[in-house]
Amino acid sequence: MPSFHIETVGCQMNVLDSELIASGLMRIGLTPAEGMRDADVILFNTCSIRQHAEDKIYSALGRLKHWKERTPHGVLGVLGCMAQKDQTLIFRRAPHVDLVLGPGQLEQLPGAVQTLLERKSERRETEPTLLVSLARLQQKHADVVDSFRLYDPIRLAETRQRRFQALVRIMFGCDKFCSYCIVPSVRGPEQSRSPHEILDEVRMLADQGTLEITLIGQTVNSYRFKEGERTTRLADLLAMISDVDGIRRIRFVTNYPRGMDDDLLQAVRDLPKVGKHIHVPAQSGSDAVLKRMKRQYTAAEYRELVDRIYGTIPDSSITSDFIVGFCGETDAEFNETVDLVRYGRFKNSFIFKYSERRGTKSAELYPDDVPESVKKQRNNELLAVQDAISLDLNRRFLGRRVEILVEGPSGMGTPSEGNENQKQLTGRTPCDRVVVFDGDDSLIGRFAEIDITDVAPFTLIGHAQPD
């Protein structure tokens, strides 16, 4: 029986896509391989947000040329955002690749893989199968929607990394067209799933033992589904899912600042199952940079949003994203971003150096003129500012007891000294803080009470309460 291996790079959307792909392949009779080299089908589910992610994929494809020579019946495929962006370029750089498929056509994958396996012995290597959408940047109309079909079949529980946690896609694509971002051209226009379909999936997940779900979308708070006279928004959807028996925690990412309305904040405040955590990327604290990024809000408007979040949900945490070294960013503009990080008091921030992406407006309109050494310096400086804030916020948890869902071994999950049955485990609080503590594997997938005894910038450290 043929086996498959999937390498996943990038965001939670890609993680979910890989789970769905695995389910689709298992339904046609393929089995998960022990490792990449043991597989008959190797698939890379790719990301195009930064150049480094693409370089890693091309490097891995190059190394697999020898695998293809040793495994003539094998199928090698490239999926996801890089596949959508690069299309035929992938075949030119790696002619031993058999299949290229964009994220909007993943429903075609099981049939394509099955066809390739069946006719592999008779097909010529110079005739690769190309299955990609050619939808172009800025197209937002009905003729594009069919090219980016939603793909959310019923998942097999065994394809998820953890049975007690699950990602649920509620929307697909993005209509914001930020100048630096490739997502609208590789994932298409915004499309929201029916709330009835989402609820059916959540109930199925609850029946499988899922305790925590995370609702995902490129701009998840843009969720809108109109049916007759009724329009369902994210706040409504959170309330519906909160009524599903068995689900104990609900999270949602990622949000766009202008879509964070008061109804949504009040839903987060009032619904006990919803985590008190808002991830809302700012990207910059400079109005001039935000304008070049085409972010459609000002730094003052983002500050007002921070005030509304903390004012509505006093015990909430906020996380953000920032890009340093964007085209033309001056020292003064960077310092405005530092000021915004200090103002926002974020639990943590994901900070990236600008990476020019072919096909984006910023690549077309602005030179990538900030030296790499300056980008690196600004990245380190902003990280240092954020680390100090994160540590200060975490100190407030010293001596407190928190409830976490235990996820598994931490990155340093070694046995505790003097007790080989205990490891360092990790989990998260409702406000999305990572907690590490000593415990045994029986706690994984369960809720636990932890007394916090020490802190680091991104970690709370404690002891578990006995049952």
Hey, what's the torsion of the CAs at 370, 299, 361, 10, to 10 degrees? 80
Give the pLDDT score at 359: 87
pLDDT over 50 at 125, yes or no:
no
- How many degrees, rounded to 5, is the angle at CA 156 between CA 133 and CA 210? 115
| Assigned token pair, 129 | 């199968």
At residue 103 the predicted structure's pLDDT band, cuts being 50, 70 and 90, is: confident
pLDDT over 80 at 126, yes or no:
no
CA distance 437 to 248: 22
At residue 142 the predicted structure's pLDDT band, cuts being 50, 70 and 90, is: very low
CA distance 202 to 185: 29
* Helix (H), strand (E) at residue 18: helix 12-27
Helices (H), 44-79: 51-63, 65-70
Give the pLDDT score at 49: 80
CA atoms within 13 A on the CB side of 142: 0
Q: Give the other-Cβ count within 10 Å of 29's Cβ.
A: 11
Give the pLDDT score at 52: 82
Residue 210: asked if its preceding bond is cis (omega within 30°), the reply is: no
Amino acid identity, position 35: G
CA distance 75 to 129: 11
Q: What is the percentage of the chain residues whose pLDDT exceeds 70?
A: 91
Q: Name the one residue in this structure whose structure tokens are 């075949």.
A: 91
C-alpha dist (Å) from residue 239 to 183, 319, 432, 452: 29, 23, 20, 31
C-alpha dist (Å) from residue 193 to 153, 200, 217, 223: 12, 12, 11, 8
Angle between helix axes 262-270 and 299-312 (nearest 10 degrees) is: 30
pLDDT over 80 at 238, yes or no:
yes
At residue 124 the predicted structure's pLDDT band, cuts being 50, 70 and 90, is: very low
Lowest mean pLDDT among 50-59, 173-182, 345-354: 50-59
| Assigned token pair, 121 | 């012995």
Q: What are the backbone dihedrals phi and psi of residue 72, each rounded to the nearest 5 degrees, phi first?
A: -60, -25
Give the pLDDT score at 148: 47
Give the pLDDT score at 132: 45
268-286: average pLDDT = 98
Amino acid identity, position 347: K
Three-state DSSP class for residue 2: coil
Q: Name the one residue in this structure whose structure tokens are 């033309």.
A: 328
Distance of CA 71 to the CA centre of its chain: 33
Angle between helix axes 372-395 and 331-344 (nearest 10 degrees) is: 20
Write 14-19 long-range contacts (CB < 8 A, 24+): 14/45, 14/46, 14/47, 14/80, 14/81, 15/161, 15/167, 16/167, 16/168, 16/169, 16/216, 17/45, 17/79, 17/80, 17/103, 17/106, 17/151, 18/45, 19/155, 19/159, 19/160, 19/167
292-309: average pLDDT = 98
Q: What is the percentage of the chain residues whose pLDDT exceeds 90?
A: 71
Three-state DSSP class for residue 280: coil
Give the pLDDT score at 365: 97
3-23: average pLDDT = 92
